[in-house]
Amino acid sequence: MNDQKNLSVSSPPPKRRRRRECLVFPVILLALAFYYALYFLLRGPLPANPQLIAHRGGADYNPENTMAAFRHAVEMDADWLEMDVQRTQDGVLVVIHDETVDRTTNGVGNVGDFTLEQLRALDAGNGEQIPTFEEVIALAKDVNVGLLPEAKSPSLYPNVETEMVNAVVEADYLSQTVFQSFEMEAVENLHRANAAVVACPLYRLWWEVDASAPPGDAPVLCPMAEMLLVNPWLVREAHRAGREVYVWFGVLENPMMMRTMLAFGVDGLMTNDPLMLGDVLNR
């Protein structure tokens, strides 16, 4: 009986509990406002010319990673063409995202199990073929647009990083190419293949990023945009280390998110919708 009486006396009245709960949300908002206000105060100057990067050629308008997508991205004033590179059974570098052809073509099977001729026979959407990396390099060079190729699943294709670098060097387009990969060892390998390589490690939401000493001494960092919502200070750290930041979007790809990234000071944005980003950039 006494224990119950003491318990009831020590419990705050319902009105007081509700009052405390009502204060939590404003306090959180104030803390966030201070956090971001401090960042903007210390951010530094904004990049003069943020880059428009067509992710997989601008997948919202044409079948991804096809010549139709890349040509359309050029028409939409993209500064860079982003793509994914893998290798056929007979050793040809091709541009396709998944390790299998199942999602993006009318075929079934692993990319590495097909010869180039067999891949060419597949429909990659609207009658498009899977392009070779060489074809995309030639298009970019012809219109003077940057290349942002990703070494996709490099563990499946030994030495693919060196082959990618050699293909760009042979086309005399290394100075306008930034290589990327989610695998940090692949970023190191790209740098080892040629000391002049500009590489960009890709980071997912909760991955650790060391802006002062990234893999391969990469001059560009490519974090997930949603990561910067949590930690915009990464942009400032990268800029202070003399590095640029190109972001890619997970699920929050919209004009508000793009404007937020630009306000944070990113140097480039990879987008499936180059037209949307062009509007945001007032192009």
Q: What is the pLDDT of residues 173-209, one digit of tens each?
A: 999 999 999 999 999 999 999 999 999 999 999 999 9
* 35 and 175 share one domain: no
* 145 and 222 share one domain: yes
* Beta strand residue intervals within the chain, DSSP E: 51-54, 80-87, 93-95, 146-151, 179-181, 199-203, 220-223, 244-248, 268-271
Catalytic residues: 55, 97
Cβ burial of 267 (10 Å; 0-12, 13-18, 19+) is: buried
* 29 and 130 share one domain: no
Structure-token pair, residue 125: 């959407």
* 125 and 189 share one domain: yes
* 110 and 158 share one domain: yes
* 37 and 76 share one domain: no
| Residues of the domain holding 13 | 1-42
- Separation of alpha carbons 268 and 53, rounded Å: 7
* Alpha-carbon separation of residue 92 from 5, 18, 134, 244 (angstroms): 80, 66, 9, 31
* 2 and 117 share one domain: no
Residue 7 has pLDDT above 50, yes or no: no
| Region 73-98 average pLDDT | 98
Q: Which helix (H) or strand (E) holds 56?
A: none
- Separation of alpha carbons 150 and 97, rounded Å: 9
* 116 and 250 share one domain: yes
Please state, as a whole number, how many other Cβ atoms lie within 10 Å of the Cβ of residue 259: 12
Model pLDDT for residues 36-68, shown as the tens digit of each residue: 999 999 999 999 999 999 999 999 999 999 999
How much of the chain, in percent, has pLDDT values that exceed 70? Answer: 91
* b/e burial code for range 141-174 (CB count within 10 A of at least 16 → b): beeebbbbbbbbbbeebeebbebbbebbeebebb
* 161 and 270 share one domain: yes
pLDDT of amino acid 30: 85
CATH of the domain at 174: 3.20.20.190
Instruction: Give the confidence band of 142 by pLDDT, cuts at 50, 70, 90.
Output: very high
| Region 87-104 average pLDDT | 98
* 94 and 141 share one domain: yes
How much is the pTM? Answer: 0.90
Amino acid identity of 35? Y
* 61 and 104 share one domain: yes
Number of domains in the chain: 2
* 224 and 188 share one domain: yes
- Separation of alpha carbons 165 and 154, rounded Å: 13
Residue 158 has pLDDT above 70, yes or no: yes
